[in-house]
């Protein structure tokens, strides 16, 4: 269904490559971002640049949102000049941002007053998988809306799964982010031990990555740690936001998340020490500072 006109609001680290993959698939794409240079870049790749959310809504039947957090989603969807004012009845809005599940439900209920359909579909995989189109989508919404959005999402992701009603996508993403953060911490702690003991952490990685301790997270982040490369694919600041949402959601549900609270404090320490813009693999820097060493491949 490549004749479908799609809108994409948000052209940051993730939004740009996602837009390019939709263009490669042959979709007519209308894009908007608060940074005009980002719009120009995707316009050069073949998209139709828009000067406002209103312009996107006037042209697209399916609108994707990819912005940093709950306040930005609410501004795009419900703010002055947003989709509540300008999207046509029947429009399907798919929010790919990672936000609080309760905010997804709030936005969806408000848009429904105008006959605008809404789904939450946060992603996992970071910039590398956004570039190669192999992201994982965790989707919350109705089966009918999912069937409409799925073919589009599959041009940006290798896995597109409907996990439940509206808000379920972001609940799943919070679970994902807890596991990812704690996995990076576990890798960092284990490699710090190896380094202090005089064992090359790169050799440890090679020895264990095919066993039970191996994971997609370790395969993606261990090489960055070993190389001292903390160029952001997914920033510490964004992971802090996700962990905040996880802890807030847990509080509303009345359940404890002990390990999540601990890794949140680690992330906050890193942010306080200027690492907020680094990749979340920089969790390793906390352990390096604590242990007085660097986790690097012995070359």
Q: Which residues are catalytic?
A: 173
Distance between CA atoms of residues 108 and 260, nearest Å: 28
Compute φ and ψ for 255, nearest 5 degrees: -125, 150
Distance between CA atoms of residues 178 and 188, nearest Å: 15
Cβ burial, residue 250 (10 Å; 0-12/13-18/19+): middle
Closest CA to 154 of 10, 18, 14: 18
* HSE-up of residue 268 (Cα within 13 Å, Cβ side): 8
Closest CA to 267 of 277, 257, 253: 277
Q: Are 100 and 71 in contact (CB under 8 A)?
A: no
């Amino acid at each position: 269904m490549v004749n479908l006109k799609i809108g994409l609001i948000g052209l940051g680290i993730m939004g740009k490559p996602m837009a390019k993959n939709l263009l490669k698939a042959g979709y007519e794409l209308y894009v908007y971002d608060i940074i005009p240079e980002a719009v120009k870049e995707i316009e050069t790749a073949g998209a139709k640049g828009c000067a406002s959310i209103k312009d996107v809504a006037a042209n697209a039947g399916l609108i994707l949102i990819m912005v940093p957090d709950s306040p930005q989603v609410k501004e795009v969807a419900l703010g002055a000049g947003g989709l509540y004012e300008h999207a046509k009845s029947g429009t399907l809005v798919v929010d790919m941002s990672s936000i609080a599940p309760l905010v997804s439900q709030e936005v969806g209920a408000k848009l429904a007053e105008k006959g605008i359909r809404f789904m939450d579909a946060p992603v996992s995989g970071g910039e590398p998988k956004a570039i190669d189109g192999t992201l994982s989508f965790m989707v919350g919404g109705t089966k009918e809306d999912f069937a409409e959005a799925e073919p589009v999402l599959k041009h940006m992701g290798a896995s597109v799964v409907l996990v439940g009603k509206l808000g379920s996508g972001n609940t799943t993403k919070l679970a994902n982010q807890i596991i990812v953060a704690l996995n990076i911490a576990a890798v960092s702690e284990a490699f710090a031990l190896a380094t202090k003991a005089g064992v090359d952490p790169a050799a440890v990685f090679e020895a264990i990555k095919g066993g039970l301790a191996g994971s997609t997270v370790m395969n993606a982040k261990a090489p960055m740690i070993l190389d001292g490369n903390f160029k952001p694919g997914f920033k510490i600041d964004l992971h802090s936001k996700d962990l905040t949402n996880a802890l807030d959601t847990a509080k509303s549900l009345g359940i404890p998340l002990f390990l999540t609270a601990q890794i949140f404090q680690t992330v906050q320490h890193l942010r306080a020490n200027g690492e907020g813009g680094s990749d979340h693999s920089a969790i390793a820097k906390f352990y390096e500072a604590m242990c007085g060493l660097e986790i690097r491949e012995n070359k």
